[in-house]
Amino acid sequence: METQYIPFVDELIELAIREDIGDGDHTSLACIPADEHGRMRLLCKQEGVIAGIEIAQRVLDRLDPQMVFEQVLRDGDRVKPGDVAFYVSGRLQSLLQAERILLNIMQRMSGVATQTAAYVRQLEGLHTRVLDTRKTTPGMRVLDKMAVKIGGGGNHRMGLFDMILLKDNHIDFAGGIRPAIERVRAYLEEKGKRLPIECEVRSLEDIDEVFAAGGVDRIMFDNFSPEMTREAVRKVAGRCETESSGGITFDTLRDYAACGVDFISVGALTHQIKSLDMSLKACE
């Protein structure tokens, strides 16, 4: 796990434990002896790409460090019905407390990874890379973005704090592309920050304005057609990175990539997914 993710992940795990267990798993406490031990397995029930095994182990360690984790698969492995991802043994009360938390995390992360892997396959043979966006479930963003990387995609910015992205509203409120870029450069210099700058454009003419202002690392072509995108890439001529976004579907993804853009950002990687079916059940 990348070190910058750990604080987000640990906070999320604490919240998941509080919202599910509260002051105690009273069902298990009532009917399962405290000293009774057992073993469970994580069983995959659909084809896809599995993700969240590393997070599952972190949840188990947080709930009960005495549990024994036997890993079989790795994050990013392709799975089919009947595959076992891991076994875990320990106190039954701890295993039952962990069950739903693990499944909620792993089913969603695996759904995101599976969706991302399908988009990545659409781009085989092309240099374009598919990226996620900030269209994530509040509080779950770090896991969504980890799952995108596990599925073979790339991460756009984590949030508003680690990249400058001048979108249409920023540009309109600032009075245009040039003043927006100039204010950003002045702000970064004043604050002593070094952040990449990306600027959205809505027409081919906007590209000229971006280069007139200068100092931009990437240009985003917003809601361009493939024909406009091809012309925009020629106009940029390698002077900075290029990205397509807005209205791009799974079926049109490759058409845009064939225009030569460096990146395509797709919100559907994280906000239009189907969780992968799996279960955590008792075993010998």
Q: Which domains does the chain have, with CATH numbers?
A: 3-117+274-282 (3.90.1170.20), 121-271 (3.20.20.70)
Q: Look at phi and psi of residue 96 and say left if phi exceeds 0, alpha if psi is from -120 to 50, else beta.
A: alpha
Catalytic residue among 209, 222, 241, 277: 222
pLDDT at 175: 98
Distance CA 98, CA 103 (A): 9
Contact 119, 253 (CB under 8 A): yes
User: Is 200 noted as a catalytic residue in this protein?
Assistant: yes
- Give the span between the Cα atoms of 70 and 192, in whole angstroms: 47
Position 183 scores a pLDDT of 98
Q: CA dihedral defined by 153, 158, 163, 164, rounded to 10 degrees?
A: 100
Q: Is 258 helix (H, G, I), strand (E, B) or coil?
A: coil
Helix 177-191 and helix 204-213, axial crossing angle in degrees, nearest 10: 40
pLDDT of residue 94: 98
Asked if residue 156 lies in contact with residue 131, where contact means CB atoms within 8 angstroms, the answer is yes
Q: Give the largest CA-CA distance in the chain.
A: 72
Whole-number pLDDT of residue 131: 98
pLDDT at residue number 284:
83
Note the pLDDT of residue 115: 98
What is the chain's Cα-based Rg? 23
In the chain (284 residues long), the average pLDDT of successive 10-residue segments reads 80 96 97 97 98 97 98 98 98 98 98 98 98 94 96 96 97 98 98 98 98 97 98 98 96 98 97 96 92
pLDDT for the residue 56: 97
Contact 88/39 with Cβ under 8 angstroms? yes
For residue 7, what pLDDT is reported? 84
pTM of the predicted structure, to 2 decimals: 0.95
Question: Which residue in the list 25, 75, 132, 200 is annotated as catalytic?
Answer: 200
Of 39, 100, 183, 202, the active-site residue reads 100
167 in catalytic set? yes
Q: Which of 39, 58, 135, 185 is catalytic?
A: 135
- Give residue 218's pLDDT: 98
